[in-house]
Structure 1
Amino acid sequence: MPAVGNVLIVGGGTAGSALAILLARAGVTVDIAEIQSGTTALGSGITLQGNALRVLRDLGVWDRVAAAGFAFDSLGLRAPDGTLLAEMPGARTGGPGLPATLGINRPELAAVLADAVGEAGARTRFGVTAEALTDTGDQVEVRLSDGTTGTYDLVVGADGIRSAVRGLIGIDVAPSPTGMGIWRVHTRRPAGVERTDLVYGGPCFIAGYCPTGPDTMYAYLVEKARPREAVGDKVAHMRALAEGYGGAWDEIREDITDPDRINYTWFESLLVDRPWNRGRVVLVGDAAHACPPTIAQGAAQCLEDAAVLAELLLAADRLDRSLFDAFMDRRHERAAAVVEASVRLARWQMEPAPDADMPGLMNRITALVTERP
């Protein structure tokens, strides 16, 4: 018998959905409380490395994700004028049977996971979140924001970087800005764009793009963070930044016309010290660790949390300190290394250091995430 019979997952994003699929498929009763009114995803597109694709394959959704996204196996580095400087093979961190990287529109990934949640037998309640949690020692009594209550063997906080559950269990950790802000636009994919190409330099710290489907992509520009309330005319600002780049950016810039297709966010980081649980309430995903997308590992680490926690819960016959210790032994150091490396890369770009070894740092993280957690 699994260590738990029923579980409440607060948050129906990547980590919460993956965990729900794995547990419900094994016969655990799973409820998801999702504060949004429906299956939604902020932003434009997402880049998934091989170790993320490995978990999606284990979830049984890889074929659907592959059909909805765009896979590629190399990375290009370009000068601001569009000149190709280098082409490098992508690391197949998910193993030889998977591509190095896949780009996908966030709403399409969310839809694939939501369908799989329902197929596994988990129940999602939209428009609600956890309002109060009382751990009685052998169960958790829950009051949701709509006034309904329930009792669960385990509550999982998968409710993101500004997690409400984190506060409810007394973990006082808040996101830290890195000093960078990123502009993303969902747009048409120019002919010839079949992978991510990056530019380090020009008017921005980073300029890049990632194909997400047969005719779609998202492009992004990273600059010094500006106050969110001072963003102003999103189209004008992003087009002005894009003026500093040539090649595919000439077409991308012409397509930056709709403010609803533009997303602006800060790069932020967060890391909760071990343990990530307080009694029978545990944090996963961005609620426990979050990193700027400088090495595109945020979603991958969320998926790995779900895979490891599900494996431990389904293999044990009781929920005790040893299970949470095992979860931390397999997840904390690995997630911390990814967060710290992502932040360090951002700092090196903002404040170049003579001893900065970006390739070395990225190679170490690649080796780390190639191994199963």
Structure 2
Amino acid sequence: MSTPRKVLVIGGGAAGSAVTILLRRAGLAVDLVEARSDWNATAGSGITLQGNALRVLRELGVWDEVEAAGFGFGSVGITAPDGTVLHVQEDLRTGGDDLPATVGMQRPRLQRILIDAVRASGASVRLGTTAVIVDQDADGVSVRFDEVSAGGSDSSSDNGSAHGSDASADAERRYDLVIAADGLGSATRAAIGIADRPEPTGMAIWRIAAPRPAGLTRTDLAYGGPAYIAGYCPTGEDTLYAYVVEANRDRALIPAGSHADEMRRLACAYGGFWPEITEHITDPAQVNHTWFERLLVEGSWHRGRVVLVGDAAHCCPPTLAQGAALSLEDAWVLTQLLTGSGPWDDTLFQAYYERRIARVRPVVEASVQLGQWQLDGVRDADVPGLMARTMTMLRELP
């Protein structure tokens, strides 16, 4: 009986969790290593999942849990700053007619669903641990593990078994393949000689989770006022996340203790449901402030037997809500290729890149363009046309 190929996945976010689940289902031995000891289980406010993301979540076997935990809807409203609804656009069902166009949900809830699925897959998990590429050749990669916090092994009795994880064992291991899913600031990407780095687009976003007012059943976007965009998305029976987008400001000049005041100052200028939402913007620890950034690694997403997925390879502003969807698609496509009949070589990894870049590049470029039109004050921009063309493309299978 042959020994199954062994894969290391670095990073336990959406892309890393998804590729782990899919490879385990195909019978491969998979170790997942995550630098954060809490496995990102409490990070973030909310997330908007378009149909093409839901399609992959269904392939992972977690669609029922996502559907139950989230809030599905099928349209987006465009409002004036005072809350007057100017237009309601039906969303395209990019995952197919048997899935909702969009599901909003609390980001920690999605992460918990993926964590549970990784555990159930039988993958070995190490938390609070980083992985460093030592060397590689045509047959595999040698990796060193470094503990970054106590309790790195996911083996506590209240969290379930790590299915064979032994973080205290050998510090260096050999793998047939390493999949770098370690996010936008990927240390693995830099370590294998890919010099691309994320770049700011000129916008920043304030986000918060809040109670959902009665009658709020879809995403609404207000353009104009003191922010470029003020929007919200329902995430459950009684929850939402709200956000306002403005120009970049030097984060060093915005004390963390003022985050609620800063977001509330922007949000209080908007009408409709916003006064009810703004009442809950009080705790600066619950307000998240980040810049919009873009990244698109060109040429290839691998070096030898180390391959990038998700934000480690690409990211875009959330103007089309496609970040998580593209990352999940990466995991799905790469797994299809790895579990086919071809050898794990440059030809296979380049095929992965070429298949993904043709789909990812238009989304990144469109997402950046939507923001740039606002930064430039372009009043006659074909926003509906660009969005429609991009989302129609995403309806096709990746």
Structure 1 residue 312, shift from structure 2 partner: 0.6
Q: Distance in 1 between matches of 2:92 and 2:211?
A: 27
Check whether the contact 2:137–2:304 (CA below 8 A) recurs between aligned residues. Answer: no
1:90 maps to a residue whose letter is D
Residue 236 in structure 1 maps to residue 237 in structure 2: no
Name the counterpart of 1:270. 295
In the alignment, the residues of structure 1 paired with residue 215 and residue 259 of structure 2 have an alpha-carbon distance, to the nearest angstrom, of 27
Deviation at 1:237, TM superposition (A): 1.0
Kindly, what percent of the aligned residue pairs are identical?
A: 56
**Is it true that 1:101 corresponds to 2:102 in the alignment?**
yes
The answer (yes or no) to whether the contact 2:133–2:141 under 8 Å persists in 1 is no
Q: Which residue of 1 aligns with 2:388?
A: 363
- Residue 331 of structure 1 aligns with which residue? 356
- 1:76-91 to structure 2, matched below 5 A, reads 76-91=77-92
TM-score normalized by the length of structure 1? 0.97
TM-score by length of 2: 0.91
Cross-structure match for 1:252: 277
Contact 1:48 1:296 in 2 (8 A): yes
Contact 2:294 2:316 in 1 (8 A): yes
Aligned-partner Cα distance in 1 for 2:394–2:146: 37
Alignment partners' CA distance in 2, 1:117 and 1:333: 29
Deviation track 1:53-81 (CA, whole Å, cap 9, x = no partner) reads 00000111000011111110111111100
Structure 1 2/87 Cα, relative in aligned 2: closer, same or farther at 3 Å? Answer: farther
Q: Note the aligned Cα RMSD (angstroms).
A: 1.6
Residue 316 of structure 2 aligns with an amino acid whose one-letter code is C
> 2: distance between equivalents of 1:246 and 1:178?
28
Q: 1: distance between equivalents of 2:231 and 2:3?
A: 45
| 1:310-334 CA-partner distances (Å, limit 9, x unpaired) | 0111112420122112212210121
Contact 1:183 1:264 in 2 (8 A): yes
In structure 2, distance between residues paired with 1:130 and 1:332: 26
Aligned-residue offset at 1:353: 3.0
Q: Which moved more, 1:209-218 or 1:257-266?
A: 257-266
The alpha carbon displacement at 1:160 in A equals: 0.3
2: distance between equivalents of 1:206 and 1:360? 19
State the Cα distance separating 1:25 from its structure 2 match: 1.2
**For the Cα contact (< 8 Å) 2:4–2:27, is it kept in 1?**
no
Instruction: Verify the 8 A CA contact 1:178 1:268 in the aligned structure 2.
Output: yes
**1:173 equivalenced with 2:196 (yes/no):** yes
In 2, Cα distance between equivalents of 1:179 and 1:4: 47
Taking the TM superposition and a 5 Å limit, the aligned residue runs for 1:339-358 are: 339-353=364-378, 356-358=381-383
- Checking the alignment, whether the CA contact within 8 Å between 1:78 and 1:85 is kept in structure 2 is yes
Q: How does 1:27-176 map to 2 (within 5 A)?
A: 27-41=27-41, 42-146=43-147, 148-176=171-199
Equivalent residue of 1:182, what SS?
Answer: strand
Moved more, 1-10 or 107-116: 1-10
Name the counterpart of 1:20.
Answer: 20
Post-superposition offset of 1:356: 2.3
Quick one: which amino acid aligns to residue 21 of structure 1? I
In the alignment, residue 294 of structure 1 is paired with which amino acid? T
Contact 1:4–1:154 (CA<8 Å) still a contact in 2? Answer: no
- Equivalent residue, structure 2, for 1:5: 5
Change (3 A) 1:50 1:237: same
CA separation in 2, counterparts of 1:177 and 1:4?
42
8 A Cα contact 1:2 1:316, kept in partner: no
Label 1:319 to 1:2 Cα distance change in 2 as closer, same or farther (>3 A).
farther
Distance 1:314 1:95, change over 3 A: same
> Would the alpha carbon gap of residues 271 and 3 (structure 1) be closer, same or farther in structure 2, given more than 3 Å must change?
farther
1:171-192 CA-to-partner distances (Å, cap 9, x unmatched) read 1111100111100011100111
In 1, Cα distance between equivalents of 2:202 and 2:379: 20
Q: How far is 1:4 from its partner? A: 6.8
> Which stretch of the first structure deviates more once superposed, 276-285 or 355-364?
355-364
TM-superposed deviation, 1:26: 1.3
Which amino acid letter does the alignment assign opposite residue 160 of structure 1?
G
Q: CA deviation at 1:35?
A: 0.3
| 8 Å CA contact retained: 2:21, 2:121 | yes
Q: Which range is displaced more, 175-184 or 252-261? A: 252-261
Q: Distance in 1 between matches of 2:87 and 2:4?
A: 51
Q: How does 1:286-297 map to 2 (within 5 A)?
A: 286-297=311-322
TM-aligned CA distance change 1:3 to 1:217, over 3 Å? farther
Superposed displacement of residue 274, structure 1: 2.3
- In structure 2, the residue matched to 1:298 is 323
Structure 1: how far apart are the matches of 2:85 and 2:270? 13
The match for 1:182 is: 205
In 2, the alpha carbon distance for the partners of 1:4 and 1:361 equals 45
Counterpart of 2:28, as a letter, is V
Q: 2:203, 2:292 within 8 Å by CA — same for their partners in 1?
A: yes
Aligned length: 373
The one-letter amino acid paired with 1:73 is G
For the residues of structure 1 that align with 2:12 and 2:252, how far apart are their CA atoms?
A: 28
Counterpart residue type for residue 139 of structure 1: G
Deviation of residue 357 (structure 1)?
1.4
Q: Secondary structure at the match of 2:300?
A: coil
SS in 2 for 1:273: coil
Bigger shift: 333-342 or 51-60?
A: 333-342
Further displaced range: 145-154 or 19-28:
145-154
